[in-house]
Structure 1
Amino acid sequence: MSPPVIGLLCMAGMLVFIALRCPIALAMAATGLIGFTWIVAFDPALSILESGPYETLSNYGFSPIPMFILMGVFASKARMSTELFHAARMLFGGWRGGMALASVSACGIFSAISGSSVATAASMSRVALPEMKKHGYANSLAAGTLAAGGTLGIMIPPSIALLLYALITEQSVGKMFMAGVIPGLLGLLLYCATIAILVHRNPALARPGDPTTWRQKIAGLAGFGPFFLVFAIIIGGIYLGIFTPTEAAAIGAFVSMVIALLRGMRLTGFIEAVDETLKLSAMIFFMIIGAEIFGYFLSVSRISFYLAELVGSMGLPPYAVLAAVLLLFILLGCVMDSLAMLLLTVPVVFPLIVTAGFDPIWFGIVAVITVELGLITPPVGMNVFVIKSVALEIPIGQIFKGVLPFVLSDLVRLALLILFPALALALI
């Protein structure tokens, strides 16, 4: 049996493991070991199991991950999400749907120092959801806005998803972060436009907020200060070449820690922040280790190159190849975690994209946006279940109904990026 055929059989087996609710990291590692043993031998597979985890965990390139997570946790401990929401609320005071606009804007800004969609959704929903419910917002609009707004955390840099994509494909982390700025802001603007259209078509979804004066709006801008400070230090430092992404992550975590300490974080809060960071980092690194072992198997099976040759022999136009890859992402996003999906699929499809002639950094942005859809689409929809955990009284069906317009908004953004690649490449 040829290595590519073995590769396809093992990948099918891995999907069975996942369907049986085996942890994705373990499914990737087990499939990689079984496949490598089948093609090469058992002793070399054991050597991979011995050396692979150490090589992964000692890779300096992955060191920004815990720092970016710690930065977002410190921001939560400093209650920066609360201040951010109230600042945005002042800005949109008096507008119909103003709290929803404030919520999605706060999500976009908070994600700039969170790097995680789930963390953004969890932090902002605890602050904004009770306020919107108290002021008579429809459950679908309130929950849908926060579930969708949280997805901005996967795109607006610093983003863990963009970092992982850059490391997997050996692209510049700094360029990936800069490429995510305009698409991230575009997503925020399209979400705001979606809310405006919804409340215009159905005013019963939300009522106008309490009006605010221009003086109150300007004073409220001070609440954005800490976020813009951290964002400017990280992105400005990377863009100007002052420090590397790893150094930027460490500096950002330190600045967030100082802000949290100045706002009353005590030793207990510091220990909780470190504990939460360790748990999240361990989960991500477990998936990276599984993907690394799976990657050895992909190399010896040559399935990626086999698929590239197969697609090339079919004579498909480049955009047909792209459409097939994105459709695969959307389908897998309905049942898999976003980071796990990137780790699993990018090593397989990346040669196809390069062979088709697409820019790898541009594809990274398109891929992450497509993966982002999986955070708010059934049946998994990680962000939807985060909102559900905060608002147990809201039926899950209403939350999915609320996110549907934002899914359409993301599809519009995806189409714009495909039609105008400069939206992702203008800043690099």
Structure 2
Amino acid sequence: MTGTLKSIPTDLEGKVVTPSDQRYQMFRSTYTTVGHPAAVVLPESARDVAAALRLARETGLQVAIRSGGHGLSGSGTNNGGLVIDLRALNQIDIIDRSSRLVRIGAGARWAQVAEALAPHGLAVSSGDHGNVGVGGIATGGGVGWLVRQYGLTIDHVRAVEVVLPDGTTVRADAKTEPDLLWVMRGAGAGAGIAVAFEIEAMELSNVGYAQLVASVDRDGETLRRWAEVTAQSPRELSTAVMLSAQGSTATAFITAVVISGDPSVIRETINPLLGIGDVMVQQAHIIPYTQLVPRFHLHANSGQMPSRTTNGLLTGLTPEAARALVTAVAAPNPAFVQLRSLGGATHDPAPSDMAFPHRHQDILAVASTFPPNERATLAAAWKPVAPHVNGSYLNFESTRDEAAFARAYPGATGTRVIDLWKRYDPEGVLRPKTPS
């Protein structure tokens, strides 16, 4: 639905940006998507968020929620609707150092969080870029540089302060509103707007950081060896692989992070990766965790990287799946493919513990394509990969249709998610594109 905002409520004066406002260019878009919303609301409190939701109900404008604006899916903006931008809700506090419990506003970005927690020797696994907003990851999942040791970000969310679509602000924790806590950890976008989280951080200061470059054979045996090494490695190792086309061949750019400041531990953990194939370049350092999500990542988001993205989760890497991934990046019109190691702590929760049921898969594969033919290119590149995946991560999905919902929330999980979305948002104010 599209529309025009005819008047601004008194309680939101000075906090609404419309197309005639000179600030509009700064707030209309995400990193991947140029939006044309009717208005962007910049709330400074939970009360302001409630007022923004009341405005959405009264006008019938479609709602998009933005915490950081960097998200690959592009869901943080829209055309002709209302964007609620949470960037001002960015306070970060240590609640209890002994239990490592921290309170983080949904509008904070992970560079800010890492910087605030570092003096206390704490960290939260939080994606792989400092410009990513807290709210999107902490309600959707959270695959970060520490994922195999820490698990997903949502695995350590202990409470959420939520503004429901009717304007009520509630605390969701294990004793108070446990159903709301369940759905906010993995499928929060359709239930309410999270304004703050209580998260159990981990003890962390320095990490081992290594970068490797390896040529990838057409059969994908290099990728299979990477997958095997990662699966057999200690939890302290998390890796990400960027696949790039080099004519008819592919190259793997591997980033490895080891949760240790001990050079001997780092060396022992990384060494097996050197045996996956023809490793052409390697370098390793001990760095503070803050350097992985640094402050200089905090750039404006103006749709400067237009793209479309899809993804799938894999249990191991079969020969057929490996070949399909190589085909996707070495095709005449290739996709850009990232592989992220899971396993370890991501397997610890039961599939029913929260609204993220994917607890046996080992790899997240993400494919992105860019203009001018990004839709057709993505469909063609992903077609040979799709039969091999089992589930998906909605935060890395540009298309929010029924099929995407079913992949992200299969079976009983999807049924419960829909039921809870209807309970907490009976009028459909947040209007998720899901089965009715």
TM-score category by the smaller chain?
Answer: under 0.3
Larger relative contact order (Cα-Cα within 8 Å, sequence gap ≥ 6): 1
Structure number with the higher helix fraction is 1
Structure number with the higher strand fraction is 2
Superposition TM-score, scaled by structure 1 size = 0.26
